[in-house]
Amino acid sequence: MSKDFPSSKFDRGKIFAKTGLKLGTNYAKRYVKNKMGKKEDANETHKFHSENARQVFNEFSKLRGTALKIAQSLSMDQGILPNEFAEVMSESQYSVPPINKALVRTIIKRELGDYPENLFKDFTSDAIAAASIGQVHRATLKSGEDVAIKIQYPNVRNTIESDLSLAKTLMKRFVKKGADLDEYFEEIRTTLLEETDYEQEAAYLDYFHHRFDQNYIVTPKLFEQYSTQKVLTMSFIEGKHLKEFLQDNPTQEERNHYGQLLWDFFHEQVEQRDFIHADTHPGNFMITEDGKLGVIDFGCVKKFPVSFTRNYMRLLPHHLDKTEEEIRELYIQLNILKRNPDDPKKEEYFFKYCKKYGDIFAQPYKKDFFDFGKSDFNKKIERFAKNTPVMNEPRGDKNFIFSTRMHTGLYNLLVKLEAVVDTRRSKELTKKMIAELEAEEAVSED
């Protein structure tokens, strides 16, 4: 079993230690080099961070499970790790080697009471997808329904606490002394406990199926009798992933149709202020032949606090029509900026960067229609992402870890689609929601 998944704290600790030592040596050499006046250009910096991120990914791929999830979550917070880490860690969604077939049979027997060949009319022993926490197999129930069976890697849940502890030690190599990582790690810990509880995911899956499985959105149906805390069985959604869809050279009308579905799905979730699908990446969406958008994988679902939601929603109108000082104050409330920084000059530079980036991020909402295929928009986003000032400490409310993943993930999908979307309804929803939140805030203050 250890060959497929090193589950002991000792075995996993060795890989963490090896990774930490290698990274520490690399960054120490770079520090000395820079101190000696041998400055890097932008391409050399990008290459350096990318190569180190690749080393982390390669080592953590052996660990699978929570180690990859932690690295991926931390890499989304631009205050902790360079942006290149996010680029590489995104591969953990669908680039992890699957566990062996014998182990798959053993897990199903232990969880469902019998071997797959006895439980199902047909079972595909080769995984159709393998990610950080589990892998997916296709099967047919004896009643004839096609299903997807999600199988969790063994002992994943048991590694959460030790992996978090080891990861925190490793991350301290990147942050300045005294930086507080606790609330960020606690947010990741809470999410990991949910993601490794397939009974919880089953509840989310059922919730979204009843809430969104209509009109142009299709979500899987839960088969509770074939599901446990470590095995999840759901209806199979037939369709193409975005990469396959684009390879067929779709028309602009088709691109716009699916882009609009993605845009509306995102904003309808936010407007309803309830549970939100917080893992917006290409592997979690399907393009169906009947013109629908399939939404799959409900492991990472969030419900953000009202105070964060209110300020996050205010970011958009602030960047559209507020003064620089009003934006600065909102950034302070969201913990992006410090009211009394140790280094005011560095803080001001960071503010200018965030404001310019926010202005670009708000561009899709400025007009009634926005073309995500415009090369200048994508290039601006990429340029700002690659030149993020590394503050060597976490910045921003802890909820940005997942809200950022959602919103940037949406933009990434729409850019790949080169879709033109109608933003009018979403702007009205945003205005309505902000008004409701501020009215609630006023009542609570009274």
Residue 248's alpha-carbon distances to 63, 73, 245, 258, 372, in angstroms, are 36, 32, 6, 14, 19
Question: What confidence tens digit (pLDDT) does each residue in 164-222 have?
Answer: 777 777 666 666 666 677 888 888 888 888 989 999 999 999 999 999 877 899 999 99
DSSP letter for 293, please: E
Q: What is the pLDDT along the chain (446 residues), one digit of tens a residue?
A: 334 555 566 666 676 666 666 666 666 666 556 666 667 776 777 677 777 777 766 666 666 556 666 665 655 444 445 556 666 555 555 456 788 899 999 999 999 999 999 999 999 999 998 777 889 999 999 999 999 999 998 888 877 877 777 777 766 666 666 667 788 888 888 888 898 999 999 999 999 999 987 789 999 999 999 999 999 999 999 999 998 999 999 999 999 999 999 999 999 898 878 899 998 888 889 999 999 999 998 988 999 988 898 888 888 888 988 889 999 999 999 999 999 998 899 999 999 999 998 999 899 998 899 999 987 888 887 777 667 666 567 788 888 888 888 888 899 899 999 999 999 999 888 888 888 888 887 777 65
Q: Which amino acid is at 13?
A: G
Q: How far is residue 348's CA from residue 379's CA, in Å, rounded to a whole number? A: 24
Can you state the angle between helices 424-445 and 306-321, rounded to 10 degrees?
120
Q: Is 231 helix (H, G, I), strand (E, B) or coil?
A: strand
Show me where the domains of the chain are located: 237-446
Q: How far is residue 228's CA from residue 94's CA, in Å, rounded to a whole number? A: 23
Who contacts 303 (Cβ-Cβ below 8 Å, separation ≥6)? 274, 275, 276
CB 52 within 8 A of CB 87: no
Closest CA to 76 of 335, 408, 371, 446: 408
Q: How far is residue 439's CA from residue 44's CA, in Å, rounded to a whole number? A: 50
> Which spans in 95-181 are helix H?
101-112, 116-119, 160-171
CB 147 within 8 A of CB 139: yes
Q: Which amino acid is at 114?
A: D
